[in-house]
Amino acid sequence: MDHLDSLRLFTRVVERGSFSVAAADLGIPRSTATDAIRQLEQRLRARLLDRTTRHVAPTQDGRDFYERCVAILADIEDAESTLRDAEPHGLLRIDAPGLLTRTYLLPALPAFLDRYPRIDVHFGQSDRLVDLVREGVDCAIRVGELADSGLVQRRLGTLAEVTVASPAYLARHGTPQSVDDLEGHRMVGFLSSRTGEVLPLEFSTPSGLREVLLPCRVAANHSDTTADLARLGLGLVQAPRYRFALELASGTLVEVLPECPPSPTALSALIAQNRQLSPRLRVFLDWVAALFRT
């Protein structure tokens, strides 16, 4: 294993906290990984990693060396990308909500892979706060307001929002014809990831954006759950339109006040602060942003 490959291996071991996982990421035997790190420590005359039977963690020297390695490897990859015949290459690990991935990213993915034949993509699907470095994820794509996580946020676009309710709910409470008609209605609450409080409904009106906080007996912090609660007839709910595409098409849910839509919600990428954008991640994020401009 040459010097640069050993640096790449070392950074991966630190990030994954495991020789076995790092070796699997790089497609090499675990024994090769352990020998390469041992040789690296001997060459540097420093102990870089503390090893236990369950976990691997960097020493203080190892943490300092890791930060330098990340910057060096990023500079090398960026320099290589400027060569005439160079093209973005390598494995991308992306974490994004499952429904958004299936609705927007996967249908267009074959064209991206054709354009960049040396890039491979692994998708993780979640809405949770991901430890990008520890889990070996290049970026997380998230919808809506984001809590301050210490990560770099890059805006990718916006998603149209919609207000919906079940036919059974509207049969009981009536269909509002204006924002002023919402008195007596209920909402399914969506809990803010930042404050833990229920977010008000939003409506665009000729006089500006109006926020309305209706009574709610149930609330959740995940759009899948609020959609289920809306289908059960427990109140009005707002979310990105794509979230309810199938329900609106089948009539399971009905759009309410379409002339007063909520404000669009942000779509953002989260990236670790100590990382420069690799060429493969840069072209991927540019591609995602372009999807939401069309």
Most confident of 46-55, 227-236, 264-273: 227-236
CATH, domain range 3-81? 1.10.10.10
List, as one string, the DSSP characters of the chain: --HHHHHHHHHHHHHHT-HHHHHHHHT--HHHHHHHHHHHHHHHTS--EEE-SS-EEE-HHHHHHHHHHHHHHHHHHHHHHTSTT----EEEEEEE-HHHIIIIIHHHHHHHHHH-TTEEEEEEE--S---HHHHT-SEEEEES-----SSEEEEEEEE-EEEEE-HHHHHHH---SSGGGGTT--B-EEB-TTT-SBPPEEEEETTEEEEE----S-EESSHHHHHHHHHTT--BEEEEGGGGHHHHHHTSSEE--TTSPPPPEEEEEEE-TT-PPPHHHHHHHHHHHHHTT-
Please tell me the class of the 161-262 domain: alpha beta
CATH 3.40.190.10 domain residues, the chain: 90-157+266-291, 161-262
The pLDDT of 186-213, averaged and rounded, is 92
In this prediction, residue 241 carries a pLDDT of: 93
Residue 259 has pLDDT above 80, yes or no: yes
Reported as a pLDDT band with limits 50, 70 and 90, residue 275 is low
- Over residues 207-243, the pLDDT tens digits come to 999 999 999 999 998 888 999 999 999 999 999 999 9
Residue 88 has pLDDT above 60, yes or no: yes
Most confident of 43-52, 67-76, 274-283: 43-52
The percentage of residues in the chain with a pLDDT greater than 90, rounded to a whole number, is 61
Question: Which has the minimum average pLDDT: 6-10, 71-75, 138-142, 144-148?
Answer: 144-148
Residue 189 has pLDDT above 80, yes or no: yes
Q: Which residue has the higher pLDDT, 84 or 175?
A: 175
Structural domain 90-157+266-291, CATH architecture = 3-Layer(aba) Sandwich (3.40)
What average pLDDT does the structure give for the chain?
Answer: 89
- Over residues 125-172, the pLDDT tens digits come to 877 777 777 777 889 999 877 666 678 889 999 999 999 999 999 999
CATH 1.10.10.10 domain residues, the chain: 3-81
In this prediction, residue 82 carries a pLDDT of: 64
In this prediction, residue 160 carries a pLDDT of: 94
